Each structure stands twice: as C-alpha cells, then as structure tokens.
Amino acid sequence: METYTRSNLKDYFLLFKKRLISTKQYARNNYVKFLKIQKDLRTEFNFELKNKKVLDIGCGQRYPYTYLLSKHNNAIGIDLDVILLRHDYRNYKAIIYKNGLNRFLKTFLRSLLFDRQYFKELSRLSEKSRKSQFIIKHMNAEDLKFKENSFDFVLSILSFEHFKNVEMCVKEVKRVLKKGGKFYITVDIYTKLHGGHEINPKRPWNHLLNKNFKPNVYLNKLRMEEYETIFSKHFKKIRFICKEDPEVKRYLTPELKDQLSNYSEIELTMYPLIIMGEK
C-alpha cells in the first residue's frame, strides 16, 4: 500500500518547519519555473502554451503546473498518488487506501494548514481564477490511459527520477503526443547535490558518500547519460540542457572531488536536467 515514501516524526517536523516559512515562496518558485518553461518553449520551438491539450505527468499533491497550465489550456494532471482535491470522506478513504496512512496524514495536515495560502499566492501571481477547470487523474506514467495522439504538449517536472521504468514512460509520452507535439521534462539526477532527496543531509552528497544510504522516496538512480540514451532512442528532435549551478560548486572541495571521482563535475553540480523535444 505504501507506494511512495517512508517517513518518520523527525521528517514531519522538518517539513512542517520548512513549509511554515516558505509556503508563499514555494508558490513563487513554481510560478517563476512556469515562466521559464514558457520562455524555453518559445525560444526552442516557437511554441506558445495557449489553447493546447496538455498533460502534466507526476503532477504532485499541489499540482502547481496543471493548475497554471489550465489558465489558457485544456489541462490534465496525472499522478501515481491519489491527489487530495476535496476534503470529503471518499477522497480521504481513497488516499489512505492507495497512498497509505502515513502519506495521508502528511498530505491532510499540509492541505489544512498551508494550501489555502499556497493557492491564493499562485492565483495572485498568475492572475488566474481558482475556478478555471482542470482534471486530475490517478494513473501510472508507465501505463497512460489515453489514446495515442491525444496531446499537444506533455510536461513532467521533477518526477522522472521517481519512475521505476523510465523507458516505458518515455514510450508512453511518445504514444500520447500528437505528431509535432512537444514535451518538456526536468529531472533531478541522483548524482546532483540534492539528488538523494534527503531532507536534512549530514554533509554535501551524503547520499553518494554513505554506502548505507536509503532514500525516503523511491529513486531510480539513473545517471545523466542513461537518460540521454533512453530519450534519444525514442525521439529524434531532442535537446538536453545541463547547466552547472555555481552555488553548488562552492561545496565541491578538492577533498570531496577526490572522494566523488567516479562522477563528473557537471553530474555533481548541475541544476535539474532539462529534456525538451518534439514527436
């Protein structure tokens, strides 16, 4: 039943503290990322995210991009977790059954305490009425329940690192895209500073240095070249953007560089990998 995370009380507390400080900031970060996605698509493909049929894969409990996309598009978000869309008994029951009690409690508390403020800020920034329509479905990225050639655009933000069979998901993206349809995917590669998804790491790159490290969420641990190989196998028009984060480079002392010599400097210091393409 517990498909996605394992948690403990310390994690809850740290998450709570983080959220208390940063709910509005988190909404702003999502909005800024969304503006960047739009800009990248314009620059790369002359593609406007307006009046399109769009799919957001791994939309998350707060579905920021499905929400933002729905202002001008027909948007559908999917996630392996059941998403808390309404506070009612049936929704709670489905979440407890599918996501597990632990995840339910985390989602429920977050929603009750922070989501009002979060969505208010997201609506304010995007000048979007909270009423505009979108659909969220419970679905596995490896097995999309949509017909082929259904979407003009597929988005997936920081979710591919959680997929068990990435190649199956890439094939599904290709299948559901219309010919000429675009996709934009970002991935937190395992080797990067926060690639272990550790809430409070003891040292930089602890997840790579500590042989006994076990992530709190499922991570496929694929490396950058493996993503490039898989995507290039299925798409011809494709672009990988991998940039170094100068803030992160500060942590890479000569001693750490030596200990992490199995990884290239860019793999350790990169921003999320961006993969954009066209069917």
Ligand X SMILES: C[S@@+](CC[C@H](N)C(=O)[O-])C[C@H]1O[C@@H](n2cnc3c(N)ncnc32)[C@H](O)[C@@H]1O
Query: What residues line the site for ligand X (CB under 6 A)?
Result: 4, 58-60, 62, 64, 78-81, 140-142, 157-159, 162-163
> In the chain, what is the greatest distance between 2 CA atoms, to the nearest angstrom?
55
Q: Which of 271, 262, 261 is nearest to 192 (CA)?
A: 271
Inter-helix orientation angle 116-126/9-45, to 10°: 20
β-partners of residue 161 are none
Can you say whether residue 48 is alpha, beta or left, with left for phi > 0 and alpha for psi between -120 and 50 degrees?
beta
Residue closest to 172 by CA, chosen among 149, 150, 147, 143: 143
- Locate 215 and state its tokens: 């992530």
Nearest CA-CA partner of 182 in 48, 39, 78: 48
**Rounded to 5, what percent of the chain is helix, strand, coil?**
45, 15, 40
Place of tokens 């995210």: 49
Nearer to ligand X, 110 or 162 (CB): 162
E strands present in the chain: 53-57, 74-79, 135-138, 151-157, 177-187, 237-241, 273-278
Q: Which residue is nearest to ligand X (CB)?
A: 60
Distance CA 233, CA 170 (A): 10
Judged by CB, which is closer to ligand X: 45, or 218? Answer: 218
Query: CB of residue 99 vs ligand X: minimum separation in angstroms?
Result: 8
Burial of 253 (0-12, 13-18, 19+ CB in 10 A): exposed
